[in-house]
């Protein structure tokens, strides 16, 4: 409690004692109503933050799916094979896939050693889990992703 608030309550207590009023009680009720209102607002903001976190996760998964589809079109033979030592772009893409898919249980990754400090990563997406997640947020998805969902069903 701030010094000003303490002084205010001290004055209210003095007024209550001298004048026989109930100013402290009224002020406490007013503050409790204000706290209740602020708690309701905080709960609403927490709910909104949870929804936005979920939406952000879905958008990130959607981005990963679009990147994988692009890889499938460009490299149909080995589109789930990542060799970070080949390029910095490949390494960044693998990092994104691991962060967004593997860490959330939507994919697994297998690593093979090809030599000293040379590794090859094989991504194994759980397509059923990815489709289920994206389908739950269908109204928020890009039309290209919606078309892909319709194709895989």
Q: Which of 37-41, 54-58, 147-151 has the lowest mean pLDDT?
A: 147-151
pLDDT at 51 (0 to 100): 93
CA 83 – CA 85 distance, rounded (Å): 6
| Domain that includes residue 55, residue range | 3-152
pLDDT at 144 (0 to 100): 87
- Describe the chain by its helix, strand, coil percentages, rounded to 5: 70, 10, 15
Number of domains in the chain: 1
CA distances from 104 to 99, 100, 151 (A): 8, 6, 24
CA 26 – CA 42 distance, rounded (Å): 24
pTM above 0.85, yes or no: no
Question: Mean pLDDT throughout 44-49?
Answer: 97
List strand residue ranges (DSSP E) for 1-152, in order. Answer: 81-82, 107-115, 118-125
CA distances from 60 to 48, 52, 71, 95 (A): 18, 12, 17, 13
Interval 111-133: pLDDT, tens: 999 888 889 999 999 999 999 99
Q: What stretch of H or E contains 52?
A: helix 23-74
């Amino acid at each position: 409690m701030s010094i000003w608030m303490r002084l205010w309550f001290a004055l209210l207590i003095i007024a209550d004692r001298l004048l026989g009023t109930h100013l402290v009680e009224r002020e406490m009720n007013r503050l409790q109503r204000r706290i209740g209102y602020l708690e309701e607002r905080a709960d609403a903001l927490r709910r909104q933050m949870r929804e936005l976190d979920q939406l952000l996760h879905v958008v990130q998964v959607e981005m990963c799916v679009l990147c994988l589809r692009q890889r499938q079109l460009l490299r149909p033979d080995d589109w789930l094979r990542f060799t970070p030592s080949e390029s910095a772009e490949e390494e960044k893409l693998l990092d994104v896939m691991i962060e967004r898919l593997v860490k959330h249980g939507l994919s697994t990754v297998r690593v093979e050693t090809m030599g000293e400090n040379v590794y090859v990563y094989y991504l194994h997406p759980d397509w059923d889990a990815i489709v289920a997640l994206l389908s739950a947020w269908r109204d928020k998805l890009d039309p290209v992703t919606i078309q892909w969902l319709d194709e895989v069903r």
